[in-house]
């Protein structure tokens, strides 16, 4: 099924409901109508058209081959009598093949196929009638055989199939009634005998069509369910990687992002900065204003941080209770400190109350900054530990400040403070 058809089914609740209704019925009672019928025809048209074209070419080839052999093996008078009626088939086949090369209006394709089949069957019958003798009844039987093969393999609407069957039996009856070699009763009896076989074939073809339609309905339903399952899995995946309170990424998503950027190694190709942000005296805010205000504070801080980073480059995640991690790919120390300071000032500017804080009557943020240059080999875990160390010292030295971690030499750390 094409993607366009898939979307039509998935986006149309009426089609989905009709599919479920049809599948709830008995198989023999399935009837496709309206849009589902159109979709089914579009689904099977290509295969049906290929089969019809191939069958037509096969019939034309056998017709030409038979006429050629007749010219070589039969008396000239008999062979010539067969030539004209036999010559009807090739041009009819060419016309039908051209009509069935690409989708046309159903009525046009149905009319062309029925008219073409009538001419082909009539041609086969006339070949025997023109030759007479033993060829008379033989070609009428061949004509019925050709009709039966068409009925069996053509995946066409039942009305078209029944019309072809009726035409074949009508031609057989007319010419058998004119057959000087048999009596009227024998002609009728033979027609009834072949009619029972042909209509049994039509019934079998109908069952095959209904089964194909049911398979199509199962395909529509299964594709819809797969799409619904994929959508549900997508939502679950989003929920699994999103902090439900703030709506930003969670720790799991940030860990996966770090692994992807570092590629499992110890270097980020373009370098990166990491900011560990912690709300000052958040426990006091919860104790004095309640957890509802604490939750609102987290949402405000998360939104503020996101507003101060590059949306298409930087990554923000809630990493703990009141702790946020910001990853800034491809920035140097100066830019990292600038971003961190902008975040700190913006959070303070929200004027969200924290009356019990030892720092300010408003919510403030302490930020630890660690930077890896493109030529440094530092794992994301190490970079995070450095940012944590800077954040810890920012807390120890008064809060509401940005501290940059520097590793000057082994065992000695130098911290640059900004506020």
**Residue 355 or 237, more confident:** 355
| The predicted structure's pLDDT at residue 117 | 96
Q: What are the beta bridge partners of residue 353?
A: 362
pLDDT band at residue 180, thresholds of 50, 70 and 90?
A: confident
Q: Residue 407 pLDDT > 80, yes or no? A: no
The number of distinct structural domains making up the chain is: 2
Q: DSSP per residue over 311-326, as a string?
A: TTT-EEEE-SSSEEEE
**Residue 413 or 245, more confident:** 245
Looking at the fold, whether 114 and 217 belong to one and the same domain comes out as: yes
Looking at the fold, whether 113 and 56 belong to one and the same domain comes out as: yes
Interval 2-14 mean pLDDT: 58
Interval 388-416 mean pLDDT: 76
On average, the pLDDT of the chain sits at 88
Residues 6+ apart with CB under 8 A from 238: none
| The predicted structure's pLDDT at residue 4 | 52
Q: Which of 32-36, 201-205, 343-347, 396-400 has the lowest mean pLDDT?
A: 32-36
Q: Which of 32-41, 112-121, 383-392 has the lowest mean pLDDT?
A: 32-41
Specify if 231 maps to a domain. Answer: no
| The predicted structure's pLDDT at residue 411 | 41
Specify if 235 maps to a domain. Answer: no
Buried b (16+ CB within 10 A) or exposed e, 351-377: ebbbeebebbebbbbbbbbbbbeeeee
Enter the DSSP assignment of 249: B
From 191, 225, 259, give the residue that closes a domain. Answer: 225
Specify if 149 maps to a domain. Answer: yes
The CATH number linked to 308 is 3.30.70.270
Looking at the fold, whether 305 and 360 belong to one and the same domain comes out as: yes
Q: Residue 322 pLDDT > 70, yes or no? A: yes
Specify if 166 maps to a domain. Answer: yes
Domain of residue 396 covers: 251-418
pLDDT band at residue 312, thresholds of 50, 70 and 90?
A: confident
Interval 157-167 mean pLDDT: 94
Interval 269-289 mean pLDDT: 92
Q: What are the beta bridge partners of residue 328?
A: 273
Ramachandran angles phi, psi of 250, nearest 5°: -105, -175
164 in Cβ contact with 201 (< 8 Å): no
Looking at the fold, whether 344 and 195 belong to one and the same domain comes out as: no
| The predicted structure's pLDDT at residue 403 | 95
Sort residue 400 into left (φ over 0), alpha (ψ -120 to 50) or beta. left
CA gap 355, 359 in Å, rounded: 10
The alpha carbon dihedral of 300, 304, 307, 310 has a sign of: negative
CA gap 59, 405 in Å, rounded: 86
Counting other chains too, the contacts that 29-35 makes at CB distance below 8 Å and 24 or more residues apart are: 30/210, 30/213, 30/214, 30/217, 32/213, 35/8
Looking at the fold, whether 35 and 69 belong to one and the same domain comes out as: yes
Looking at the fold, whether 413 and 264 belong to one and the same domain comes out as: yes
Looking at the fold, whether 272 and 144 belong to one and the same domain comes out as: no
Ramachandran angles phi, psi of 106, nearest 5°: -55, -40
Q: Residue 406 pLDDT > 70, yes or no? A: yes
Looking at the fold, whether 277 and 152 belong to one and the same domain comes out as: no
Looking at the fold, whether 313 and 182 belong to one and the same domain comes out as: no
Question: Cβ atoms within 10 A of the Cβ of 247, count?
Answer: 12
Specify if 13 maps to a domain. Answer: yes
pLDDT band at residue 417, thresholds of 50, 70 and 90?
A: low
Looking at the fold, whether 217 and 274 belong to one and the same domain comes out as: no
Q: Residue 348 pLDDT > 50, yes or no? A: yes
pLDDT band at residue 412, thresholds of 50, 70 and 90?
A: very low
Question: Cβ atoms within 10 A of the Cβ of 212, count?
Answer: 15
Among 398, 403, 373, which residue's Cα sits nearest to residue 388? 403
Specify if 322 maps to a domain. Answer: yes
Give 123-153 pLDDT, tens digit per residue. 999 999 999 888 999 999 999 999 999 999 9
pTM over 0.85, yes/no: no
Q: Residue 415 pLDDT > 50, yes or no? A: no
Looking at the fold, whether 286 and 343 belong to one and the same domain comes out as: yes
Question: Cβ atoms within 10 A of the Cβ of 53, count?
Answer: 17
| The predicted structure's pLDDT at residue 10 | 54
Query: Which of the listed ranges 8-22, 233-247, 298-312 does the model predict with the highest average pLDDT?
Result: 298-312
Specify if 245 maps to a domain. Answer: no
| The predicted structure's pLDDT at residue 1 | 47
| The predicted structure's pLDDT at residue 268 | 75
Looking at the fold, whether 171 and 80 belong to one and the same domain comes out as: yes
């Amino acid at each position: 099924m094409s993607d366009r058809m898939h979307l039509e089914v998935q986006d149309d609740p009426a089609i989905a409901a009709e599919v479920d209704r049809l599948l709830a019925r008995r198989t023999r009672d399935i009837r496709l109508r309206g849009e589902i019928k159109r979709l089914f025809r579009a689904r099977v048209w290509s295969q049906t058209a290929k089969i019809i074209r191939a069958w037509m070419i096969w019939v034309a080839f056998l017709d030409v081959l038979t006429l050629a052999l007749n010219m070589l093996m039969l008396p000239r008078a008999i062979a010539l009598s067969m030539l004209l009626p036999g010559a009807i088939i090739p041009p009819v086949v060419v016309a039908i093949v051209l009509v069935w090369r690409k989708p046309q209006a159903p009525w046009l394709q149905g009319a062309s196929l029925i008219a073409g089949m009538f001419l082909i069957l009539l041609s086969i019958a006339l070949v025997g009638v023109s030759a007479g003798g033993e060829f008379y009844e033989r070609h009428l039987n061949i004509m019925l055989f050709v009709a039966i093969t068409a009925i069996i393999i053509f995946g066409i609407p039942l009305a078209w199939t029944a019309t072809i069957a009726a035409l074949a039996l009508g031609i057989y009856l007319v010419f058998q009634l004119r057959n000087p070699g048999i009596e009227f009763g024998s002609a009728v009896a033979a027609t009834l005998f072949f009619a029972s076989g042909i209509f049994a074939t039509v019934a079998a073809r109908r069952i095959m069509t209904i089964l194909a339609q049911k398979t199509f309905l199962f395909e529509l339903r299964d594709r819809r369910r797969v799409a619904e399952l994929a959508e549900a899995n997508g939502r679950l995946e989003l929920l699994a990687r999103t902090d439900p309170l703030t709506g930003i990424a969670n720790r799991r998503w940030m860990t996966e992002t770090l692994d992807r950027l570092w590629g499992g190694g110890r270097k980020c190709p373009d370098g990166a900065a990491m900011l560990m942000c912690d709300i000052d005296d958040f426990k006091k805010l919860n104790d004095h204003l309640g957890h509802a205000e604490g939750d609102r504070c987290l949402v405000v801080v998360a939104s503020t941080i996101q507003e101060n980073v590059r949306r298409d480059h930087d990554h923000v995640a809630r990493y703990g209770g009141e702790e946020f991690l910001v990853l800034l790919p491809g920035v140097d120390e100066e830019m990292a400190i600038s971003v961190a300071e902008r975040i700190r000032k913006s959070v303070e500017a929200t004027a969200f109350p924290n009356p019990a804080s030892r720092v300010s009557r408003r919510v403030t943020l302490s930020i630890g900054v660690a930077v890896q240059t493109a030529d440094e080999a530092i794992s994301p875990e190490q970079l995070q530990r450095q940012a944590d160390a800077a954040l810890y010292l920012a807390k120890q030295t008064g809060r509401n400040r940005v501290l940059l971690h520097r590793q000057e030499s082994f065992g000695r750390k130098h911290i640059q403070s900004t506020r």
